[in-house]
Amino acid sequence: MAKDSDSFNFGVLAALAVVALHDQEVIYREIVDTVDEVALIKCARRNGDMRWSGLSKYKYGRNPQRQSRHTR
């Protein structure tokens, strides 16, 4: 299951990279809100994709108090 989850997250990270490249922050945040944000950030950190995917650009993963909409 973890492999499937990682594959999904890699696909989402690739899509987010394209959206970030076009500076579409609202769309970017809508996409992140539809997935498990914590798992996405963990996957990006594990593989060094925080900057490439735009997660750093839009300041995801910086505030440990920030929770995913799915964990509230």
Residue 69 is predicted with a pLDDT of 53
Number of domains, the chain: 1
- At 36, the amino acid letter reads D
Is 72 inside any structural domain?
Answer: no
Is 18 inside any structural domain?
Answer: yes
Is 66 inside any structural domain?
Answer: no
- The pLDDT tens digits of the residues spanning 13-67 come to 999 999 999 999 999 999 999 999 999 999 999 999 999 999 999 999 986 555 4
Q: What range defines the domain where residue 46 resides?
A: 2-61
Is 71 inside any structural domain?
Answer: no
Is 67 inside any structural domain?
Answer: no
Q: Which residues contact 61 (CB under 8 A, 6 or more apart)?
A: 41, 44, 45, 50, 55
* pTM for this entry: 0.81
Is 36 inside any structural domain?
Answer: yes
